[in-house]
Chain A
C-alpha cells in the first residue's frame, strides 16, 4: 500500500505534481518560520552565554576554572552612555600573574591600556575625542573578540588600572573567576527576559504555523477523496485508503521540510542582520541544535500525516462516492463564557491590586490566559454571528453567498485564522503595556529638565551598600573642572547642589528612601530655568537632586516648580560638600557627551553622569527589542494566517468548481465570484484580527489600571503600521488565489465535470 501511495503521489500526472509542489511550498514556508523561531531562541541563548562574564559577581553561579589557584582581580562593571547607545565598561586591575582574564582578550590590559569591541573601536575613531575617547585613559591595545560579545554592534570596553587605583574605588571588588553561566541558567534568580519573550513569540507563531501546515496537506482534498472512493469501489479497505492518504501527505511534507531547511540556511546570514531583539546576531548564532532538527524533521511530517488522517475521518468514503459527514451543529452561545470570564477577572482586580508578586502573576496570568483561550473558544460562535448578520443584510449576491457559506460551517472558516488570535492577542497586549509604560517614562523625564540636564550625583553623606562598601558622601568640585565644563560648546550653566547640613547625620545603610534634598544657590538656579525657580527673595532653595531617578520624577510631577527657601546663608554654601552637579545644556549630543566625558574623567570612581533619558536607555533598549519582536510576530502571524486562508480558499474553490463554473456559464460575471471568494477569506481575517487585537488591548488596559493605575495609551504608529502591513500582505496573498478562479471555472470545467 505504501508503494502504491508513493506511486500515486509521484507519478500520477501533472495534477498530482502540482498538488505535491503546492503542499511542499506551503510546508517549506511554515518550516522556515519554525526554524527561524527556534534558531532565534538559540541565538539569544548563545548571546547570553557569551556575555555571561559581564554578570560576574563574587558568588558566580558557574565560576570559570582555576578559581582556587587564581590571583584576585580587581574589577568593576558599569554602564556608560554615548547618545542613546549603552557602553558596557569593565575596569580591571590584576593583582598577580594568575588573575582571571575575561573571554575575548589574550591577556589583561595593564594600567593605561584598554581593549574595545570592534563597534566601539569604530566609534572611538569617529566620535570627537573630547566626547568619548577621553573617558578611557591610555591606549587601545587590542580588540575584544566576538566570543565575548552579544552582537556585532555591541559596545564593550575593558580598561586596565593598577591595583592601587581600583582598591580605592568603592564600587570595585575582587573576583577570582568570571561567570560562565548564561542569564536564565538553572539557579539564576533573574531568568533571561529575552529568552522568555522569544519563547512566547515562538509559541505564539507555532500554532498558526501548525494550522497552516495542516491546511496545506488538505489541499484539494475533494479530488483526492473522489479517487479514494474509486479505490474503495475496486476493493480497497478504509484502512488501506487511510495509509495511502498518510503516505501522500508525508511525502509532500517531507519535500517541504527539506525545502524549509534549505530556505533557512540560505537566508540565515540575511536574517542575522535583522535586529529582531534590538541588536543583530552573528550569523553563526542563528544555529539549530540536533534536537531542533529532529523535532522539525520528524514532527512536521507526523503532524501532516495525522492531519490527513483527521481530514479523512470527516468524510465517509464509500465505494459509491464521497459524502460529507453531517454538518456539525451550530456553535452555541456558551462559547463566549470563558472570554467574558477572563475579561471579568481582569476587571475585578482594578482597584483591588493583589498583594505580592506571586499573587499578581497568578491573578493577571489567569486573566490573560482565560481571555486568550476564550477568544479561541468563542471564535466559531462569533464567526457564525457575524456571517449570519452579513447574509441577512446582504444586498448583493456575492455578500449573500459568502455570508451563507461562512455561516454554514463557521468552525472551518475560523480554523484557518484561529492561529492568528494567539499571536495577535499576545502582541497587542504586550505592545499596549509597553507603549503605556514607555509613555509614562517619557512623561516623567520632565521635558527639558530630564532631557537637557546632565546630572552627576555624589551623595550627601557616606553610604554603606548591602555588601559592605562604604561610598563617601559629597565632594569638592575643582574650579578647573567647572571652567572646563563651561567651555564646552552647548553647555549653558553648571550648578552645584550642596549637601544639606540639617539632613540626618551618620552613614546611610542601603539605598536612600525618596528623593534626597540638597541646597542650591538661587543665582545658580536662575541660570538653569528648566530646574525651576526660587521663592521670591530667597538666596538658597531646597531642591531634590537632579540625576537621581526620583529627583527628576519629582521635578516632572511638580506642578509648580518653585522650590522652598532654605535657612542657609548663600555665603555658607561654598563650604558645604557638593552632593550633585547639574550641567544645563542645549540638549545637543556634543554638549551632553562632552560634559559626560569631562565628568567621567574627573570622577572615575563615581557613578556615570546621566540624564533621565540615559537612565532608562537600557530598559528602553530592551523594551524596543520587545516591540520589534511583537511587530515581527504580528506580521508573521498575519502572513501565515493568510497563507492558511489562501490554501483553504483554493481548496474551497476546487470543491465548488462545478457550481461556480455553471454560474459563470450562465452569465454571472467573474467579478461577482471573485467578491464571493475574497469576502469568504477576508471577512474572517479582518474580524478575527480586530477581535484579537481589541481583546488584547482591553486586557492590557485592565492590567494597567489594576497594577499601575494607568490608562492604556494608544500603541504607537509602528503597531498600526505592522498590523496594516500584515493585513495588506495577507490580503495580497488571498488575492493571489483569485486567478485560480478564472482558470477552474472556465466553460471546459462545466463540460468535463
Chain B
C-alpha cells in the first residue's frame, strides 16, 4: 500500500516523520519486515526492542541514512526513500541532529570546535559558529571544557558535547541511537535529562533508540520493534513519565 501523502497518526494528525511498511534486508538477513511508525512534530518517541530486532535499522531508515528495499519513509510532505544521496545528506545536515553511543567526536578538534562543526559545514563564519557553540556549554554543564579534546573528556562529558553538536543547528529532529549505552546510570540520566529539556525548549522531535527501559521512560511514547516489525505501542504507560515530563 503506497500513497502520495504521508500516513496519518492514529489521532489523525499529520506526522512530521513516518515509515510505512518498510522492508530492509542486509544480504540474506532481513532487518525490517514491514515496519510502520509515525512521529508527530515535537514528540519524543523511544524505539525499544531486543538486540537484532531492527530498531537501529528503523532509525537509520527514518533518518535517510539507509534507503528501504520496500515501503515509504516520509519527512513532512517529502519522501526520503526516493531522494538521492546528496539530497538526503543535505537533509541530515540541515534538519536532523544525531547522537550515537560513542566515538562521534572528531578527535583532532576541541570540544567547542566539534560543537561548531555543523554550523561551519552550513557556511556560518568561524567566529559566529564558535560563539554559538560556546552558548551550549553552559546549558549542558560543560563550562570550562571548551578547549579540551575528546580524549580529555569523560564519557558523560563527551556525550553531552555530542548532544550540543546535535542541537546547535536547531534541527527539527534529533535521532539518538543508544545515547547512554556507554555511560554509567548517573551520567546516562544526566544526558537524557538534558536531551529532553533542550528538545522541549526548542520544540525538537526526538527519536530515541534504546534497549534500556529507564532511558525509554524519558520519552512520551514507546514503540517496540520485534523481528523487524513494530509490534507494540506503549503510550503514556510508564509510571514515572508524568513526573519526569
Write the residues of chain A forming the contact surface with B, with a CB cutoff of 8 angstroms. Answer: 394-397, 400-401, 404-405, 408, 656, 658-659, 662-669, 672, 747, 750-751, 753
Contacts and interface: CB of A to CB of B under 8 A. Distances in A.
Interface string B107-148: 111000100011011000110000000000000000000000
B103 interface: yes
A662 B93 contact: no
In this complex, the member of B66, B113, B121 whose beta carbon has the largest number of chain A beta carbons within 10 angstroms is B121
Given A401-B109, A663-B106, A666-B104, 15 more contacts: A395-B126, A397-B121, A401-B108, A656-B107, A658-B103, A663-B117, A665-B92, A666-B97, A666-B98, A667-B90, A667-B93, A668-B93, A669-B86, A672-B121, A750-B100
Interface in B4-38: none
Contacts of B92: 665-667
Contacts of B56: 751
Contact of A666 (B93, B120, B126): B93
7 contacts: A404-B108, A408-B108, A663-B106, A663-B117, A665-B98, A666-B96, A666-B97
Contact of B60 (A400, A663, A668, A751): A751
B189 interface: no
Contacts of B113: 400, 404
B108 A397 contact: no
Given A404-B113, A667-B89, A394 B106 contact: no
B194 interface: no
Nearest to B97: A666
B163 to A, nearest CB: 13
Contacts of B65: 665, 747, 750
Contact of B96 (A395, A658, A667, A668): A667
B166 to A, nearest CB: 8
B204 to A, nearest CB: 15
A747 B89 CA distance: 12
B94 interface: yes
A538 to B, nearest CB: 80
Contacts of B183: none
Nearest to B166: A666
B91 A659 contact: no
A667 B91 contact: yes
B153 to A, nearest CB: 14
Given A400-B113, A404-B109, A751-B56, A662 B104 contact: yes
Contacts of A400: 109, 113, 120, 126
A708 to B, nearest CB: 49
Contact of B121 (A656, A662, A668): A668
Contacts of B109: 400-401, 404
A665 B94 CA distance: 13
B104 A659 contact: yes
A404 to B, nearest CB: 4
Contacts of A747: 60, 65-66
User: By CB atoms of chain A within 10 A, which of B96, B113, B125 has the most?
Assistant: B113
Nearest to A753: B103
Contacts of B86: 669
A724 to B, nearest CB: 31
Contact of A405 (B105, B108, B117, B120): B108
Contacts of A750: 65, 100
B216 to A, nearest CB: 21
The 5 closest A-B pairs by CB, nearest first: A667-B93, A667-B92, A404-B108, A405-B108, A397-B120
Interface of B: 56, 60, 65-66, 86, 89-94, 96-98, 100, 103-109, 113, 117-118, 120-121, 125-126
Contacts of B97: 666
A400 to B, nearest CB: 6
A747 B106 CA distance: 17
Contact of A395 (B93, B103, B125): B125
B56 to A, nearest CB: 7
Contacts of A394: 126
Contacts of B103: 658-659, 662, 753
Contacts of A397: 117, 120-121
A408 B126 CA distance: 20
Nearest to A750: B100
Contacts of B98: 662, 665-666
Contacts of B94: 667
A750 B90 CA distance: 19
B69 to A, nearest CB: 14
A668 B89 CA distance: 7
Nearest to B67: A747
B60 to A, nearest CB: 7
A402 to B, nearest CB: 8
Contacts of B120: 396-397, 400
Contacts of A669: 86, 89, 93, 121
A194 B240 CA distance: 87
A665 B175 CA distance: 11
A659 B107 contact: yes
Chain A CB count within 10 A is highest, among B56, B91, B94, B108, for: B108
Contacts of A395: 125-126
A404 B107 CA distance: 9
A657 to B, nearest CB: 9
B151 to A, nearest CB: 9
A667 B63 CA distance: 10
A400 B106 CA distance: 11
B118 A666 contact: yes
A621 B27 CA distance: 66
A578 B108 CA distance: 82
A401 B106 CA distance: 8
A658 B182 CA distance: 16
Nearest to B113: A400
Nearest to A393: B126
A751 B125 CA distance: 32
Contacts of A405: 108
A98 to B, nearest CB: 81
- Residue picked from A395, A397, A401, A667, most chain B C-beta under 10 Å: A667
A341 B94 CA distance: 54
A350 B103 CA distance: 58
A662 B100 contact: yes
Nearest to B92: A667
A395 B106 CA distance: 17
A404 B151 CA distance: 14
A532 B170 CA distance: 86
Contacts of A666: 92-93, 96-98, 104, 118
A664 B60 CA distance: 13
A373 B86 CA distance: 49
B55 to A, nearest CB: 12
A401 B56 CA distance: 29
Contacts of B125: 395
Contacts of B91: 667
Contacts of A668: 89, 93, 121
Contacts of B108: 401, 404-405, 408
Nearest to A327: B151
A666 B98 CA distance: 6
A395 B98 CA distance: 24
A212 B144 CA distance: 42
Contacts of B105: 659
A648 to B, nearest CB: 15
Nearest to B165: A666
A181 B91 CA distance: 78
A665 B93 CA distance: 9
Contacts of B90: 667
A662 B100 CA distance: 8
B25 to A, nearest CB: 13
- Name the residue in B94, B96, B98 with the highest tally of chain A Cβ atoms < 10 Å from its Cβ: B98
A668 B66 CA distance: 15
A394 B120 CA distance: 10
A658 B106 CA distance: 9
Contacts of A664: 89
